[in-house]
Structure 1
Amino acid sequence: MTTGFFRLVLVALVALFAAYVAEPYLLRLFFSEAEPRAVSVRGDLGGLEINAVEVFAQASPSVVHVFGRAPGAGMLDPRGGGLQSGSGFVWDRAGHVVTNNHVIAGAQEVSVRLADGEIVEAAVVGRAPNVDIAVLRLSRPTRIPPPLPIGASDELVVGQWTYAIGNPFGLDQTLTTGVISALQRTLPTGRGREIADVIQTDAAINPGNSGGPLLDSAARVIGVNTAIFSPSGASAGIGFAVPIDVVNDVVPELIRDGTVPTPGIGVVVGEDAISRRLGIEGVVVLRVVRGSPAEEAGLRGVDMRTGAIGDIILAVDGERVETFADLTRTLGDVEVGESVRLLVLRDGEPREVVVETQDVSARL
């Protein structure tokens, strides 16, 4: 009986081994698909998918690729290399295009590739470096794409869906999605200035997306993608867009006048980091511009012979200022030509100085 049992076990093992060896051959023999497979039927797209498809279909024809050539570079041909590039979108039926100022900064010539592939020259109509916005005008395109509808950034809430369309790394007509991650951020621009109420989104924004639209679920522009926070230089899920309320104020002025008046008083101030190292709580006036309202009001800069500090601005119209960004923000709240009351520290003593603001946009 024991011998019979072992024979059964041996037979079973041999059978299992034979099945193991034969398995791949049997699978190929009976289950290989030598003909095209039947397409599986799926249900309708989900609601979020449908919305993303609709937003892209509505908005993408009006999103453009912007190229600039710096002086000394080769021929301006978007198909070539060595060009600075970004995104933009059609603003009106006259062929104006909105983009970031940094996309075309320093460019001698600008061209735009439309969504249908047509390449047209573009003229720079105006720039607002303090909010990183520029306006171009298309030169005789075959057809002007429809302008994108405009939303309102003061209606936005954290968590609502966002859609970014642009040309990251030169890849035309790219859609990324996300949500509004935060509102009322501040974004530094050049020379210590800041853009207020900036939108933060986790929709992927990469180099080349700059100047493109940030859209809501109704395909309305709610912001202009302008910057990312990323140690690597690629998207890390923290992107920023200039709010459309700011853009909607600035763009008409740029179209009409080519510039946006920026209130200032005519001073060159010290770097915030140096002031902090010196323990100074305020904005140090380095130099007063000749013929400026600051000179007329008697403001003093640093004595270049002795290095003695002149005036330190502590407040504007009663509002405390500790950085250059604070100063530009408070001055930005008044109209050009209006007077402001500065509280300055001079020779260790606080004093009030009244200064009239002037337009300093030409020097930005």
Structure 2
Amino acid sequence: MASKGLLALIVVLVIILAVSFLLGPSVLNMQGGTPLIGGGNSSVSTVSSTQSVTVTTIVATTTVTTTLSGEGTLSPVDLFKKVEGSVVAILVTTPSGSAQGSGFVYDNSGHIVTNNHVVAGQQSISVTFLDGTIVSAKLVGTDIYGDLAVLSITNQSHALKPVPLGNSSALQVGEQVAAIGNPFGLSGSMTLGIVSQLGRSTTGTGGYLLIDLVQTDAAVNPGNSGGPLLNMQGQVVGVNTLIFSQSGASEGVGLAIPSHTVRRITDSIIKTGSYNHPWVGIQGVDMTADVAKAMNLPEAKGFLVLSVLPNSPAATAGLKGSDRQANIGGQNVPIGGDIIVGIDSITTRNLNDLLLYTERNKSPGDTVTLKIIRDGKEMSVSVVLGVRPPPAG
């Protein structure tokens, strides 16, 4: 029986230049790198050696515990004992077969957090606790752009033990973390590692840019998707989502959605069934030295707007896209659009800076002030953020 992929396995090869800033239906990728869904009982999404992927460095109706990192460090043994009743295996049936993933208990109302790509296309969902108890679950809502989903246990006779959310903003490179999930269907597996880096961005399984990710070398494999990444206080600091691999298994580079993002999106899904991302509506590339030279600029900084989507907040604000081309390295490259070098009081070096600030701090309807360079002169433009449109089709 055919199965879907659940843990996205990405081969990191080169950094592509073309991306989109809060674009809408998809991430602009001028050099290819479309994820491919593989077979097996767990989700596998790979990019071949000739492809490339982007790599750049509300209120809930129930109470969710949030505590700070650094309090009451546990041994790995005690950490596992603390959270083993909170981590679950998720089995999904779809029109094309079945798939497995992981998740964790979010609150006492029976909400389970996992990845969107774990439950995409679901016809039925079952949740298995480590003690073997199996219960049915229904889908509350998803956020395809953030790759998160919330389930609700329909039979709450099983005692629930929510795992508290930690403060991912307090994480430090080198801090020890643990991943717990169901790699290859092996339930309740725990691995240890460290935080390798913070603020990573890459293209996820749906082709959408995932930002602000936590990089870890804790081993995660197909079936770990949706499971918790924990600090040594037993608090969730991330949701394991992707690995970069050439072999299809862990090679020490995993990415997790940070807990501050998980909290914001999950609480919105519980309350409204969805999450609205802020949207500007532009496409472009990070500036390079060659492009800066072609535009007669003294330095390469900021994000070059190549096109402005019709009827978008950017169009309403009067942002301008590329109006000419230049021959760079034997290729015609679009240049001449606005260059975004700041947002509100924040200097932005590239797209990643823009995305991090906007997603962390802003909501649809908020007004931001973009500092741009147009025709060699700095100026400011006010943009009222919109709601990112759903994917086309």
Structure 1 and Structure 2 fold alike (TM over 0.5): yes
Determine the structure 1 residue equivalent to 2:143. Answer: 128
Answer yes or no: is the 8 Å Cα contact 1:87–1:209 preserved in 2.
yes
**Alignment map for 1:270-281 (pairs within 5 Å):** 270-272=284-286, 276=288, 279-280=291-292, 281=300
Asked which structure has the greater RCO (Cα within 8 Å, sep 6+), the reply is 2
Question: How far 1:129 moved relative to its partner?
Answer: 4.0
Answer yes or no: is the 8 Å Cα contact 2:113–2:151 preserved in 1.
yes
Answer yes or no: is the 8 Å Cα contact 1:64–1:89 preserved in 2.
yes
Residue 358 (structure 2) pairs with residue 331 (structure 1): yes
Please state which structure has a larger fraction of its residues in strand. 2
| Aligned residue type for 1:342 | L
Please state which structure has a larger fraction of its residues in helix. 1
What do the CA deviations read for 1:107-153 (whole angstroms, capped 9, x no partner)? 23341331243444433323334443221112225425321233333
Determine the structure 2 residue equivalent to 1:109. Answer: 123
Determine the structure 1 residue equivalent to 2:235. Answer: 220
**1:325 partner SS:** helix
Residues 154 and 265 of structure 1: CA distance in aligned 2, closer, same or farther (over 3 Å) = closer
* Partner Cα separation in structure 2 for residue 111 and residue 141 of structure 1: 15
Question: How far 1:271 moved relative to its partner?
Answer: 4.9
Answer yes or no: is the 8 Å Cα contact 1:132–1:189 preserved in 2.
no
Residues 328 and 151 of structure 1: CA distance in aligned 2, closer, same or farther (over 3 Å) = closer
* Partner Cα separation in structure 1 for residue 144 and residue 189 of structure 2: 26
**Alignment map for 1:50-89 (pairs within 5 Å):** 51-70=75-94, 72-74=95-97, 83-89=98-104
Determine the structure 1 residue equivalent to 2:381. Answer: 353
Answer yes or no: is the 8 Å Cα contact 1:313–1:344 preserved in 2.
yes
Of residues 191, 208, 217, the one that matches 1:202 is 217
Residues 203 and 350 of structure 1: CA distance in aligned 2, closer, same or farther (over 3 Å) = closer
Residues 220 and 61 of structure 1: CA distance in aligned 2, closer, same or farther (over 3 Å) = same
What do the CA deviations read for 1:60-100 (whole angstroms, capped 9, x no partner)? 22211123344x414xxxxxxxx332110111121110112
Please tell me the root mean square deviation across aligned C-alpha atoms, in Å.
3.4
Greater mean alpha carbon deviation, residues 201-210 or residues 318-327: 318-327
Of residues 306, 314, 318, the one that matches 2:340 is 314
Q: TM-score, normalised by structure 2?
A: 0.65
Residues 309 and 201 of structure 1: CA distance in aligned 2, closer, same or farther (over 3 Å) = closer
What do the CA deviations read for 1:243-272 (whole angstroms, capped 9, x no partner)? 3233233321221122333222233x0355
Aligned residues: 300
| Aligned residue type for 1:67 | L
Give unpaired runs (5+ residues) of structure 2: 1-73, 293-299, 325-332
Give unpaired runs (5+ residues) of structure 1: 1-49, 75-82
Answer yes or no: is the 8 Å Cα contact 2:172–2:195 preserved in 1.
no
Bigger Rg, structure 1 or 2: 1
